[in-house]
Structure 1
Amino acid sequence: MSEEFVTLTENTGALKDKTIFITGASRGIGRAIALKCAADGANIVIAAKSAEPHPKLPGTIFSVAQEVESAGGKALALQVDVRDEQRVQEAMAQAADKFGGIDAVINNAGAINLSNVESTPPKRYDLMQDINSRAVYLTAHLAIPYLKKSDSAHILSLCPPLNLQPKWLGPFAPYALSKFGMTILSLGLAEELREAGVAVNTLWPRTLVATAAIEFAVGSREMFEQSRRPAIMADAAYEVLITKEAALSGCQLIDEELLVERGVKDFTDYAHNPDNAGDLTKDLFLD
């Protein structure tokens, strides 16, 4: 079973009948964003590779679709590899056909490997560039015609603010390049689409978030004790999506900072272990 999702900020109904296309939405942060938006009455396109249950990673596109429907939204479960141009194009068309358009694209799917250049095999390097930075280009390229027809269009990518200090580059430059590539593309898209009224933002967590990436790619499940739950990113993403008139477009956002601006004062319950809320670890790329 996937972790229970409990939202900690109020829903406004602003996303009712809006169509949100979320990559990698079968688990973790993507799933949390899907359920938060579904509770607001949104149509959720669950675009992820996970169609079959995994012994170590709970959640599939179909299980999340059921959760979306139970939360109050409408769901479309699509098996999508964000590296596959034709499949992404087909998925966009399927989403628009079913729901009448696309209002937001959330680039949540990601690949991580924290190794330096010498230790990173070419296949792993290519995987990170394709799933991280190239996917931002590809989803935007294919979604823009739909987004331009929306009166509240957003592209939101989960990537860090630019921070080119050597301490973040030396240990894992290939991964850093892929994530900063997402950010640079997002900054460029914000300018490119400003006159069209399409808001483009990046969002990154202040602390580690308890996901499979932390458990299997960064450290171990014990690191969850120094992490927050995916709900904090879901609540922050929701605040981005309900922001009108592209007021935040071009901003490189941090979940905690945005939520403070929106009135959240107590972050204790976001912690994976609320009793340990004062001893959390900052995420990568943040000083």
Structure 2
Amino acid sequence: MARQPRSLAGKVVVITGGGRGIGAATASALTRLGARVAIGDLDLDVAKRTADGLGDDAIALPLDVTDRPGFTAFLDEVEKQLGPIDVLINNAGIMPIGLLEEESDRTTRHQLEINLHAVVHGTREAVRRMKPRGAGHIVNIASAAGKAGFPGVATYCATKHAVVGLSEAVRMELRGTGVEVSVVLPAIVRTELTAGVEEARFVKSLVPEDVAEAIVAALRRPRFEVFVPRSLGPINRFTRLLPRRAGEWVAHLLKGDQVLINAAHSAARKDYEARAAASAPAADKEAGG
């Protein structure tokens, strides 16, 4: 007999970068199911507007995920206001587009700090809080770029591959503890992060609600790899069976190797690229930038 899906009513959920996009859609989906959600975001005004639209079950707090002591203090404040954290969703991330040879060291550092180091820190903090209680769920948002390389986002791909590896290792470390780990691997999601990116031939673009639905499903019936859409899973497994040159030929035939790099100089990305460049104030301060 199949196990009943877990109830999320009353669960305390933290979402980093939750003010907009996937994070905001996930917060909305969770509050509809009775969860109490803490939205952490660098842009507190945006986070407050999102939380205000969700009613009494959502709060907004300032969060720069590159400020690790501040990240820890943010989690402490969530627990002070809402109680022990049941779910942490490491969602904050940036995706500047451009050739690696043209990428500044500052842009590289921002991606490593936000997309990877913050996920390591958030995961570690969640384990320390959840493991003694024998329950909890850590959800790390990676990407289809965590399973393959795409021209134009080399460093982004590196960070997302690392998030997948981190999640795999921590999942094994936590076996038998009652703490679950999921890694979410979406295709192109129509948010500000993908502004200027054209439709891919091989996989239809998603909206944030598609990813939110998949995250909720993984929380109710835990599983490790969460491909969005689900068809990405079989596609990934099939392409991994091919010799490298054949797999690259298929990607080129489907223009999968062009979909991101073609957006590098799109005027539609101007606002997003500027916001991404200002998204790690603590990391810049530490580096003296």
What's the TM-score once normalised by structure 1's chain length?
Answer: 0.73
CA-to-aligned-CA distance 1:171-213 (integer Å, 9 cap, x gap): 432111111111111111111112212111111224x211011
State the Cα distance separating 1:98 from its structure 2 match.
1.6
- Asked whether the 8 Å contact 1:21–1:106 carries over to 2, the reply is yes
Matched, 1:40 2:33: yes
From 164, 174, 189, the equivalent of 1:209 is 189
User: In 2 relative to 1, CA 211–170 (structure 1 residues): closer, same or farther, beyond 3 Å?
Assistant: closer
Distance 1:282-1:203 versus aligned 2 partners, 3 A rule: farther
Cα separation, partners in 2 of 1:78 and 1:227, compared to 1, 3 Å: same
CA deviation vs aligned residue, 1:82-119 (integer Å, no higher than 9, x gap):
00011111111111112220011101110112223211
1:148 alignment partner, SS class? helix
Distance in 2 separating the partners of 1:181 and 1:28 = 22
**How is 1:1-287 mapped onto 2 (pairs within 5 angstroms)?**
14-52=7-45, 60-69=46-55, 74-150=57-133, 152-160=135-143, 162-164=146-148, 168=149, 171-206=152-187, 208-215=188-195, 218-219=196-197, 227-243=205-221, 247-248=222-223, 251-257=224-230
Per the TM alignment, residue 147 of structure 1 is displaced from its structure 2 partner at its CA by 1.7
Q: Shift of residue 163 of structure 1? A: 2.8
Q: What is the identity, as a one-letter code, of the residue corresponding to 1:47? A: G
Question: What displacement does 1:148 show?
Answer: 2.0
* Secondary structure in structure 1 of the residue aligned to 2:44: coil
Provide the residue aligned with 1:277 in structure 2.
none
Query: 1:13: how far off?
Result: 7.8
CA distance in 2, matches of 1:259, 1:119: 30
Contact 1:115-1:174 within 8 A present in 2 as well: no
Q: Relative to total residues, which structure has the larger helix share, 1 or 2?
A: 2
Q: Secondary structure at the match of 2:101?
A: coil
Distance 2:38 2:181 in 1: 19
Aligned amino acid, residue 148 of structure 1: K
> Could you tell me how far 1:76 is from its partner in structure 2?
2.1
Q: Deviations over 1:50-107 (max 9, x none)?
A: 123xxxxxxx1111111221xxx61221100000011111111111112220011101
Residue identity in the other structure for 1:76: I
In structure 1, how many angstroms separate the alpha carbons of the residues matched to 2:22 and 2:150?
25
Q: Displacement, 1:256?
A: 2.4
Cα offset, 1:252, TM superposition = 2.3
Distance of aligned partners of 1:13 and 1:141 in 2 relative to their CA distance in 1, 3 Å threshold: closer
CA contact under 8 A between 1:205 and 1:233: conserved in structure 2? yes
Mapped to 2, the partners of 1:188 and 1:177 lie a distance apart of 17
Q: Whole-Å Cα distance in 1 between the matches of residues 231 and 18 of structure 2? A: 22
Q: In 2, Cα distance between the equivalents of 1:109 and 1:78?
A: 14
Structure 2 unmatched runs, 5+:
234-254, 261-289
Please tell me whether Structure 1 or Structure 2 has the larger radius of gyration of its CA atoms.
Answer: 2
Q: Aligned-pair RMSD on alpha carbons?
A: 2.8
Q: Given residue 226 of structure 2, which amino acid in structure 1 is its aligned partner?
A: L
Following the alignment from structure 1 to structure 2, what is the Cα–Cα distance between the partners of residues 89 and 158? 19
Give percent identity, aligned residues only: 26
- Contact kept, 8 Å, 2:186 with 2:229, in 1: the verdict is yes
| TM-score, with structure 2 as normaliser | 0.72
Paired with 1:192 and 1:102, the residues of 2 have a C-alpha distance of 20
Change (3 A) 1:238 1:253: same
Give the letter aligned to residue 112 of structure 2. Answer: Q
8 Å contact kept, 1:25–1:48: yes
